[in-house]
Structure 1
């Protein structure tokens, strides 16, 4: 069935295609599995082919019987390299014909050190992945969604609670996540004429390799060290799936999903 909302078409008959960056582990893997289980074709992107293939194997075992027409594909790509991003989106178009969703997820925290001890190389490494990489993928997705027929699609950026308030010793990560909010707003505005929706999910303490140290004990704003509660990545994935499956006439512009008792409200 084809529906139209505010002039924007959504075809519910054929499987839609999503691209997930950083799909080899953590939040990216959880979101890829949720999308595949809901019947989406999912392109899995990342730097580690073996990890991506593991995700593809898990997706094959968890797809719903009713979604037998869905599929996954693996494309190795470094989002900080413009040529590899171009090749990634070319591969998605060649295999699936169109792109309905980009989950812009690849990211890096960098070393947790005081600002005066952060090296230029470490600063640049975080900025290259979290901001430049997100821009390059969003730009390529925007071009694809603008040119395809029917026109349009959705971009969901993986933000962070650090897009609102920082942790101690996180200047590079915090700066890039604040910048990502500006990227999200600009994409939303520029995408309106073409049926391209863009939203941001700000995530707090999903249980991944990156957040493992938080559960064991991490520096707080008052100088103490304390363990923090974590939540399952599946809870994040369900939120992304809800955002992804809205008709293009509706958009979750910004959302926050977090471990309920973590220090965010009242942080600092």
Structure 2
């Protein structure tokens, strides 16, 4: 159950007892209800982070908090829509009020559009993808930047979930590919603008991680030559490990861009 601010009631009581205690590392994961987001949140929890999980569905977030507390970890669930400025601002206000700072954000929330020729794609579907994958990353990165800039000690790490689509498209993927190309430029801009404030930015480009949503790819994926073929998949735990590696680096060191993918998927080479 969540209160009117989107914060889990169980998590509210748990986190109150931690105010005023010794410094701890706080991480936020968006789109944390399932898939890559949930796996990354679980890994950061094991790394010793206090993890704020955000998403549009309250139930899986609350389940994560329950599991975290059962294992001795600390977590906070906040329902939020990354496409909505007010919702994002409320999310970060809750983080600041509860913990006073934020050390890492993994901007993971994202969606795709139907794989159809461009002339069959509605503007509504285009906007849904751009609003979530690009504007959502911007809104969360902007709010994180604002908090990291003024907190003491100053600084923090912003990690964006990119895609190999930030470098090469699949057939009929114009909104998704455009959004991920744009996130790559945004990541570089954040990394540059953050230098004066000890804020670093990274992008992890992910290819064929096996989740509930991507399992369909095992039945066949449209290729550049017009055929349909099955593709190798990689374990989502390995993606979480990559997020963990970047998140745990000192702020004096950064991985600006990392590609983690199934080794034999059709990305390198001619398709």
1:267 CA displacement: 4.5
Structure 2: any 5+ residue segments left out of the alignment? 1-21
- The count of corresponding residues between Structure 1 and Structure 2 is 250
2:48 to 39, 58, 63: 39
In 1: Cα distance, 2:218 partner to 2:270 partner: 17
- Determine if the alignment matches structure 1 residue 111 to structure 2 residue 114: yes
Return the match for 1:51 from 48, 51, 60: 60
Which position in structure 2 is the counterpart of 1:150?
153
Any idea what SS the aligned residue of 1:236 has?
Answer: helix
* Number of the residue aligned with 1:80: 83
Question: TM-score, normalization: structure 2?
Answer: 0.90
Check conservation: 1:218, 1:227, Cα contact below 8 A: yes
Q: Distance in 2 between matches of 1:163 and 1:85?
A: 24
Moved more, 94-103 or 208-217: 208-217
Q: Are the counterparts in 2 of residues 25 and 55 from structure 1 also a CA contact under 8 Å? A: no
Equivalent residue, structure 1, for 2:31: 22
CA-to-aligned-CA distance 1:133-179 (integer Å, 9 cap, x gap): 00000000000000101000000000000001000010000000000
Checking the alignment, whether the CA contact within 8 Å between 1:155 and 1:198 is kept in structure 2 is yes
State the alpha-carbon separation in 2 of the partners of residues 148 and 216 from structure 1.
Answer: 48
Contact 1:217–1:228 at 8 Å: present in 2 too?
Answer: yes
CA distance in 2, matches of 1:47, 1:27: 15
Q: Tell me which stretches of 4 or more aligned residues in structure 1 moved more than 2 Å.
A: 54-61
Following superposition of structure 1 onto structure 2, how do residues 1-268 of structure 1 map, counting pairs within 5 Å? 14-61=23-70, 63=71, 68=72, 70-268=73-271
